[in-house]
Chain A
């Protein structure tokens, strides 16, 4: 684990601010609730972490809802919806494996960051209480471990996106249809990055070239395009989460992925299914 723990300059709190601008969700209430509940908890000293988390408790049916593992290890689909954490892991892995930048799920991130903030503030509250027992320290440690795991995944997710945003900055800036996939901050970053890059190229080299060679987007025969674009033909490993409708392969034949099937296919073939959540990348 230690090797994974890079020193991230990317601050999750900053991400918070970005996402909390999103209008649709009710974190404010939960936050203010946690504040008002907190002192009371502090006084009676034993209710703390557990019954505060209505969502966690409601969702759960005895064993938590990790990735359930059947006897043969197929991930059992218990019919219920996946938890926030499972959804985060799925989005993270999809983003890591996809050649193109995927639409950001701001509602999911906002929800998770809210939970993280809440767990953290509860932990701090408990820590500051001198009367907490050994048993509580131990629970605090577990809660913190989980928070750190999730922060790692969220950071890695954002950094993966950032890498793609920078790599395809010019492409993104010049294609408005891609803008919806990015958060406001990501889009601003892409635009600023493009400007800076172009200014730098112009100042350092391009202005000394003849005018016809100054463009950053020349169509040269036998040369790859100057603006990198996501390679949608790159093959990916797709795992069908449910039975999928048939799709056409580049050679014209049809393929129908059954639930649980894993195939190596060109990204363009499964793109729509991936966006609909029917397949995930592994």
Chain B
């Protein structure tokens, strides 16, 4: 009944995908549908071939039934990602990418790879970016101290990945910093 053990310390990637699926994407519908009220808002009307904005979960659902084409988000193309990758390898900080770019790109490439011009190139770029960023977050561990750590431009999936280690490491550092103080306080 209570939350299962493995989920207690952190959130899982499929759950992050669920969160990211609330974001809006543009689609070109292939079927018509009246404007319909959903709990998160009203979407539609779908009038092929006019573009329409719907949540990602709806777009995936429609796409799997071959009822729409998904228009890739502006950042999900080879030129943009190539630029980010160059930034990633030349600069020290993380490049600016959408907070949930990993989840969204995975969902889109899984269900709608035929809507992209060069899905394989995109996949390999995303993988390169991920690896470059992963290396940086590992280096980030050295900056960890007991008070606060800024993580500019880190995305949701990366935070989730480093969470167990960073949280524990910071807990240990905090303890180490505190204990000598407590000891000093006891001595006159």
Chain A contacts to B: CB under 8 angstroms: 1, 3-4, 6, 9-10, 49-53, 56-57, 59-60, 62-69, 71-75, 83-86, 89, 93, 96-97, 112, 115-116, 119, 135, 138-139, 141-143, 145-147, 149-150, 152-153, 156, 159-160, 162-163, 165-166, 233-237, 249-251, 253, 255, 261-266, 269, 282
Contacts and interface: CB of A to CB of B under 8 A. Distances in A.
Contacts of A112: 39
Closest 3 CB pairs of A and B: A73-B98, A64-B41, A53-B37
B80 to A, nearest CB: 10
Nearest to A6: B4
Contacts of B67: 138
B27 to A, nearest CB: 11
Contacts, number: 200
A160 B1 CA distance: 10
Nearest to A166: B2
Given A67-B22, A262-B152, 12 more contacts: A4-B12, A50-B36, A63-B24, A69-B23, A74-B98, A115-B39, A142-B36, A156-B3, A159-B1, A250-B174, A255-B148, A264-B149
B97 interface: yes
B147 A251 contact: yes
A64 B43 contact: yes
Nearest to B65: A138
B184 to A, nearest CB: 15
A71 B74 contact: yes
Q: How large is the interface on B (under 10, 10 to 19, 20 to 34, 35 or more residues)?
A: 35 or more
A4 B144 CA distance: 33
A262 B36 contact: no
Nearest to B5: A163
Contacts of B35: 50
A153 B159 contact: no
B39 A262 contact: no
Contacts of B54: 64
Nearest to A250: B147
A62 B41 CA distance: 9
Contacts of A166: 2
B33 A56 contact: no
A265 to B, nearest CB: 5
7 contacts: A1-B18, A86-B22, A160-B3, A166-B2, A263-B149, A264-B166, A282-B159
Interface string B13-43: 0110111011110000001111111111111
B100 interface: yes
A145 to B, nearest CB: 6
A234 B14 contact: no
A73 B99 contact: yes
Interface of B: 1-4, 7-8, 10-12, 14-15, 17-19, 21-24, 31-43, 52-58, 61, 67, 73-75, 96-101, 144, 146-152, 154, 156, 159, 163, 166-167, 170-171, 174, 177
A89 B2 contact: no
A183 to B, nearest CB: 15
Given A73-B99, A282-B159, A149 B18 contact: yes
A240 to B, nearest CB: 11
Given A143-B38, A251-B146, A69 B2 contact: no
A116 B148 CA distance: 41
A3 B166 CA distance: 27
A152 B18 contact: yes
A65 B41 CA distance: 6
A56 B39 contact: yes
Given A60-B42, A72-B96, A166-B2, A153 B61 contact: no
Contact of A264 (B3, B4, B33, B170): B170
A40 to B, nearest CB: 17
Given A56-B42, A142-B36, A266 B18 contact: no
Contact of A235 (B39, B75, B170): B170
Contacts of B159: 237, 262, 282
Contacts of B167: 234-236, 264
